[in-house]
């Protein structure tokens, strides 16, 4: 299991629902976008890419920005 934090807008993400993510590369980092542009991950080092493209929303919260934690089966 691997958890990633995503910055999100006020949107319709649901806890315990699976979402597909899409990978982009900005050397030396990867970033991931939740399907439908619902959220964007923080930069991930190029040597630590996700091994799957589907994650389940574990938590939604707001600190300074609205965020969600997605869990990936790895």
37 in any annotated domain: yes
CA 22 to chain centre: 9
Rg of the chain taking only CA atoms, in angstroms: 11
Contact by Cβ (8 Å): 56, 71: yes
Residue 11 scores a pLDDT above 80: no
30 in any annotated domain: yes
48 in any annotated domain: yes
Residue 64 scores a pLDDT above 90: no
Which residues in the chain belong to E strands, given as ranges?
2-8, 18-26, 29-34, 39-41, 44-45, 54-62, 66-72
What's the N-to-C CA distance of the chain in angstroms? 5
| pLDDT recorded at residue 14 | 94
70 in any annotated domain: no
Domain interval for residue 51? 2-59
Looking at the structure of the chain, the number of domains it has is 1
8 in any annotated domain: yes
| pLDDT recorded at residue 41 | 94
């Amino acid at each position: 299991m691997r958890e990633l934090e995503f910055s999100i807008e006020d949107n319709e993400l649901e806890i315990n629902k699976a979402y597909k993510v899409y990978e982009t590369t900005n050397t030396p980092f990867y970033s991931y976008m939740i399907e439908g542009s619902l959220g964007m991950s923080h930069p991930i080092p190029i040597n630590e890419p996700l091994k799957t493209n589907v994650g389940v929303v574990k938590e939604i919260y707001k600190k300074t920005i609205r965020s969600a934690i997605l869990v990936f089966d790895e």
